[in-house]
Chains A and B, each alone.
Chain A
């Protein structure tokens, strides 16, 4: 029976994890609520919240509701899936496989980005339908591309969060504490510059802060965020995203070693 040893492939493992996420999503009707129904509710609330707030209120409403429906799914979805691996007892066989766990997480992140974008699209459609027309965006193509990139910035933080779920079974508890602060601190609902100035350095540590500010520069004429303009924000977003992905690579290796030392992979 023993034959030439199989070799794992990073891209195949990542695709396998993405495929598994889709299968689990389709197999479980509870996901319809956060992914399909919640964006509709967020869109309606956001529309009412920003109505009358200047000429670009539609853009603010779309960004606010869009981020609200996407950020949780994209940012925490991957971490939560790792928490589920602990609960199901599948973390042990997955870690024991030749594939480094980082590639499994990347596959899940990809799915979360896709499902986050579907949520964003639902928000857009609902607000356009309620408002009777689309918002005036100077460059719709650039907006759409940047929107996808903001998802990637969220996902990069999500990968680092996933490492905590491998590290400890208490990651969910830590996440719940930080969830709201992160949501406000990265400017998901309103620009970070509206927050007290001493919170800004903390906000700037996170890639989505830069990405969202760049998105507002692009879509709202006359917007003045941190003051370093669209390109400054875009460069900041790219740099911090790369830093997070690099950090994730280093952290995952260390975390995998730590859990093998602790022997807590089957705890949940």
Chain B
């Protein structure tokens, strides 16, 4: 049998949650958390999944890590079905859900790892060495023998990550791994993620932090309301939302004729208007180099207070554009 080059492949993954209320007359509410997700991730890649709260990111991660059954569709990890072959898959995948919960607080971090090493079947002869190795890797040697209840949020997050990599998984799911971490710890976590990829681990990462996704993930999917609204490299996603360059003009209100005039500038693909109290901001996505800040100033002569900025279209711009489009 040829080994699949894909670490992950989903076809039409749908998940509907049912919530019930009432005692005698049960009222069932159905919520579609995922509505047909198709994704592929190559082995050894870092793949980023972005989306607003409630978009379905964690639901997808739980399905892929065998913690939740899909309502419809199939998902293969390392060529094996997450529903039918979960026993084969579980030792080969790692999951980091993070947060304050998920650890035994009254015992030490090291004892937590020892317990899960046993459940994951880490060879007994290697157990202590591996525990020390992952503790060092997340820079927690100084606190490993302290009770988890004494840990800060960031320390717990590191312990979650240590547990996730303890059994040396081939595919690691990281659900918002840097949430709640201070900038230094977050940077160290990103460094750790890169080192795991260098070791051959495939990473599936969900995050709210655009710069993090941009820094770590060559390929990104944006999910909104349970659907993948875009999936590509950051560069291609910039093109998708109308250009690599963004110009921002701020003044005390623009009239419709002025906005219309800006639309006719070369390369302008999209203009978004926002109000911040008395200040209006026009954000222009620009595909070419022809349109420059001075062109905007020339078209908006009646605003002495006008300020124009030029910057590179960020992943956050892409994300907001796509998610907003999906919402309308």
A48 located at the interface, meaning its Cβ lies under 8 Å from any Cβ of chain B in the complex: no
- Among candidates A2, A24, A97, A260, residue contacting B200 with C-beta atoms closer than 8 Å: A2
Residues of B within 8 A of A176 (CB): none
B164 to A, closest residue via Cβ: A93
A237 located at the interface, meaning its Cβ lies under 8 Å from any Cβ of chain B in the complex: no
Q: From residue A123, how far is it (CB to closest CB) to chain B in Å?
A: 28
Residues of B within 8 A of A13 (CB): 118-119
B124 touches A12 (CB 8 A): yes
- Among candidates A2, A19, A28, A265, residue contacting B106 with C-beta atoms closer than 8 Å: A28
Residues of A within 8 A of B68 (CB): 260, 263
Residues of A within 8 A of B266 (CB): none
> Is chain B's binding surface mostly helix, strand, loop or mixed?
loop
A16 touches B67 (CB 8 A): no
Q: Quick check: which of A3-11, A59-67, A179-187, A227-235 contacts chain B, the rest being far away?
A: A3-11
Q: From residue B34, how far is it (CB to closest CB) to chain A in Å?
A: 11
B299 located at the interface, meaning its Cβ lies under 8 Å from any Cβ of chain A in the complex: no
A96 touches B66 (CB 8 A): yes
B199 touches A90 (CB 8 A): no
Cα A7 to Cα B201 with chains together (Å):
19
Residues of B within 8 A of A98 (CB): 87, 90-91, 119-121
Q: From residue A106, how far is it (CB to closest CB) to chain B in Å?
A: 13
B163 located at the interface, meaning its Cβ lies under 8 Å from any Cβ of chain A in the complex: yes
Which residues B82-124 have CB closer than 8 A to chain A? 87, 90-92, 95, 97, 99, 101-107, 111, 114-116, 118-124
B252 located at the interface, meaning its Cβ lies under 8 Å from any Cβ of chain A in the complex: no
B163 touches A1 (CB 8 A): no
Interface string of A193-213 (1 = CB under 8 A from B): 000000000000000000000
Q: From residue A114, how far is it (CB to closest CB) to chain B in Å?
A: 18
Q: From residue B170, how far is it (CB to closest CB) to chain A in Å?
A: 5
A265 touches B120 (CB 8 A): no
B196 touches A1 (CB 8 A): yes
Which residues A87-102 have CB closer than 8 A to chain B? 88-90, 92-99
B147 located at the interface, meaning its Cβ lies under 8 Å from any Cβ of chain A in the complex: yes
Residues of B within 8 A of A139 (CB): none
Residues of A within 8 A of B69 (CB): 257, 260-261, 263
B91 touches A7 (CB 8 A): yes
Interface string of B12-42 (1 = CB under 8 A from A): 0001010000000000000000000000000
B168 touches A95 (CB 8 A): no
The answer to whether residues A263 and B17 also contact, given A8-B119, A15-B118 and a CB cut-off of 8 A, is yes
Residues of B within 8 A of A5 (CB): 91-92
B107 touches A24 (CB 8 A): yes
A104 located at the interface, meaning its Cβ lies under 8 Å from any Cβ of chain B in the complex: yes
Interface residues on B, range: 35 or more
B65 located at the interface, meaning its Cβ lies under 8 Å from any Cβ of chain A in the complex: yes
B90 touches A97 (CB 8 A): yes
B101 touches A88 (CB 8 A): yes
Cα A257 to Cα B119 with chains together (Å):
19
B167 located at the interface, meaning its Cβ lies under 8 Å from any Cβ of chain A in the complex: yes
Residues of B within 8 A of A6 (CB): 91, 120-123, 167-168
What's the tally of chain A residues with a CB closer than 8 Å to chain B? 37
A137 located at the interface, meaning its Cβ lies under 8 Å from any Cβ of chain B in the complex: no
A27 located at the interface, meaning its Cβ lies under 8 Å from any Cβ of chain B in the complex: yes
B199 touches A89 (CB 8 A): no
A27 to B, closest residue via Cβ: B106
A20 located at the interface, meaning its Cβ lies under 8 Å from any Cβ of chain B in the complex: yes
B231 located at the interface, meaning its Cβ lies under 8 Å from any Cβ of chain A in the complex: no
- Among candidates A8, A20, A89, A263, residue contacting B99 with C-beta atoms closer than 8 Å: A89
Cα A9 to Cα B91 with chains together (Å):
12
The answer to whether residues A265 and B91 also contact, given A88-B104, A88-B105 and a CB cut-off of 8 A, is no
B163 touches A93 (CB 8 A): yes
- Among candidates A1, A17, A28, A94, residue contacting B201 with C-beta atoms closer than 8 Å: A1
B104 touches A24 (CB 8 A): yes
Q: From residue B129, how far is it (CB to closest CB) to chain A in Å?
A: 13
A145 located at the interface, meaning its Cβ lies under 8 Å from any Cβ of chain B in the complex: no
Q: From residue B91, how far is it (CB to closest CB) to chain A in Å?
A: 5
Residues of B within 8 A of A257 (CB): 69
B111 touches A23 (CB 8 A): yes
- Among candidates A3, A7, A28, A96, residue contacting B121 with C-beta atoms closer than 8 Å: A7
- Among candidates B103, B115, B121, residue contacting A9 with C-beta atoms closer than 8 Å: B121
Q: From residue B149, how far is it (CB to closest CB) to chain A in Å?
A: 9
Cα A23 to Cα B119 with chains together (Å):
16
Which residues A159-201 have CB closer than 8 A to chain B? none
The answer to whether residues A2 and B119 also contact, given A28-B106, A88-B102, A263-B68 and a CB cut-off of 8 A, is no
Cα A194 to Cα B168 with chains together (Å):
60
Q: From residue A259, how far is it (CB to closest CB) to chain B in Å?
A: 9
B67 touches A96 (CB 8 A): yes
Which residues B63-82 have CB closer than 8 A to chain A? 65-69
B208 located at the interface, meaning its Cβ lies under 8 Å from any Cβ of chain A in the complex: no
Between A and B, 10 residue pairs with Cβ closer than 8 Å are A1-B199, A5-B91, A6-B168, A8-B121, A12-B118, A20-B107, A88-B102, A95-B67, A96-B67, A99-B121
* 6 other A-B residue contacts (CB within 8 Å) besides A1-B165, A1-B199, A8-B91: A7-B91, A13-B118, A23-B111, A88-B103, A92-B102, A93-B116
